[in-house]
Structure 1
Amino acid sequence: MTTNESNPPIILIAGHWLGAWAWDEVLQHLTADGRRATPMTLPGLDERDSARASRTLDDQAKAIRETLIRAGASDTEPAVVVVHSGANAPVSLVLDQRPDLIRRVVWVDSGPVASGSVFAPDAPEDLDEFPLPPFDVLGEQASLEGLSAEALRRFRTRAVPEPGPVLRQRVELTNDARPAVPATLVCCSIPQVRIRELADAGHPMFAEVSRLDRADFVDLPTGHWPMWSRPGDLAHIIVEAAARPAG
């Protein structure tokens, strides 16, 4: 009999500008393997939402909690949450609010944020939304390695501007149980040896990594969007992480 212990629900959450569609190729591999995977679009990143530019991190955290519960997650049968890039802020809020719902977090070229973090502290108050930058600009901030011309075309065509409130909101965290949730860090654009060094040195972007009680590191050398450059390999890592014991 298959149970949550051997096949927990998996929630897939992509970063800035992306919706559930970003996981299409990974999802094909996961479902072929019999996994119960649910990709979600965060509030503010649904192009059909006329009020999307006003959505906040709190809205996103609420949606993640609701998605977890709909997927069957509970304090007795928690889920695996796969987090890419800038989705780390709302997921960190959920880890603070309901760590009991999460069996393991798989951080994909990402990691937990610290309390007090603001993604874009210099963003002006009148910035309603932030569209996907030109690729030459984006490539200076995050590696585009491994992305085909078709992947870049799809990225440009389907990207939704990031809501200004999400970029400006300060993350407030208070629950000391948060670092106890097991984690797997999938290291793509930065190798694990460098991430460990930065975490040990207290670098602001990686300081929370050093606080994790149980963390596994997996190198997946590629750019910042491995769901497109190496979807099969990423799916395999997710399956292996989901199979790890919860305790």
Structure 2
Amino acid sequence: MTKPIILVPGFWLGAWAWDDVAAILRDDGHDVTALTLPGLESADVDRSKVTLSDHVEAIADAVRAADQPVVLAVHSGTGFSGYAATDLVPERIATMVYVDSAPGKGALEPGFDGVERPLPSWEELDENLDGLTEEHLETFRRRSVPIPGALLRESAEFTNDRRLDVRTVMICTGMPSAQLRAHLTEGWAWLAGLSELHDVTYEDLPTSHWPMWSRPRDLATLLAEAAG
């Protein structure tokens, strides 16, 4: 029996970002849940009181709600909240998958003092856009929601070493795995938890930072393999 799959979108995105991947997985018989995290429901939501802990708990609650240990896949900036969730429910996560992401520790941008951060311009974003069509970019821009500022300046507390034994798969898309591993000693917050994990494998899927749009079937195949 395959494990349930929980899909967590990155910054500025809701569950809709996983629609193509989720449809492929469901057609193949997988139990899939895609999340929209607090404050990302719509542009009209009040994000002033949304905390990093709110996101961590929302992910952990979805894991707890499953009837067996899950494959938990997080994308981009949710590597921070996703890794913190493994500290809360390590026994409920069969495999942790980071999609062009990593287990983050500390604050991504501790000096940020705004209530929220909207999606920047493509030039300011400085992310790999390979394989994305104009339609992808238009949809992203139109449906994006500002992220709560707390996600940038807050950090999670880690107390449960059982998280270190959670099987982890790094799906490297915008940055090759060899390049990512070369940065492990540079002190970047978004990579800070990776070197402490005991069971990590790497999968290279060369494409954009948003492989759920540029290579949805290939990404779905890797997630299905993680689900066993």
State whether TM-score is above 0.5.
yes
1:84-163 equivalent positions in 2, closer than 5 A:
84-114=75-105, 117-124=106-113, 127-138=114-125, 140=126, 142-163=127-148
Q: Does structure 1 residue 37 correspond to structure 2 residue 22?
A: no
Q: Shift of the alpha carbon at 1:197?
A: 2.3
Note the alpha carbon deviations across 1:81-126, whole angstroms, 9 max, x for none. 0010111111111111111111111100011113xx10111212xx
1:210-229 equivalent positions in 2, closer than 5 A:
210-229=195-214
1:3 matched to which residue of 2? Answer: none
Note the alpha carbon deviations across 1:9-56, whole angstroms, 9 max, x for none. 100001100000000010111011100010000111111773334211
Q: Secondary structure at the match of 2:193?
A: helix
Q: Does structure 1 residue 167 correspond to structure 2 residue 137?
A: no
Number of residues of Structure 1 aligned to a counterpart in Structure 2: 227
Structural RMSD (CA): 1.5
**Does the CA contact (< 8 Å) of 1:54 and 1:164 recur in 2?**
no
**Does the CA contact (< 8 Å) of 1:46 and 1:52 recur in 2?**
no
Structure 1 residues 53 and 227: CA distance shift in structure 2, 3 A: farther
**Does the CA contact (< 8 Å) of 1:96 and 1:177 recur in 2?**
yes
Residue of structure 2 aligned with 1:27, choices 19, 22, 30: 22
Q: Does structure 1 residue 183 correspond to structure 2 residue 168?
A: yes
1:80 matched to which residue of 2? Answer: 71
Q: Structure 2: state its 5+ residue gaps.
A: none
Q: Which amino acid aligns with 1:105?
A: M
User: How many angstroms apart in 1 are the aligned matches of 2:181 and 2:75?
Assistant: 19
Q: Secondary structure at the match of 1:54?
A: coil
Q: Does structure 1 residue 234 correspond to structure 2 residue 225?
A: no
User: How many angstroms apart in 2 are the aligned matches of 1:191 and 1:213?
Assistant: 21
| Aligned-pair identity (%) | 42
Q: Would you identify which runs of 4 or more consecutive aligned residues in structure 1 move more than 6 Å?
A: none
Question: Which one has a bigger Cα radius of gyration?
Answer: 1
2:41 matched to which residue of 1? Answer: 46
**Does the CA contact (< 8 Å) of 2:39 and 2:45 recur in 1?**
no
Residue of structure 1 aligned with 2:11, choices 9, 16, 34: 16
Q: Structure 1: state its 5+ residue gaps.
A: 1-5
**Does the CA contact (< 8 Å) of 2:53 and 2:156 recur in 1?**
no
**Greater CA drift, 205-214 or 188-197:** 205-214
Structure 1 residues 97 and 46: CA distance shift in structure 2, 3 A: same
TM-score w.r.t. the length of structure 2 is 0.94
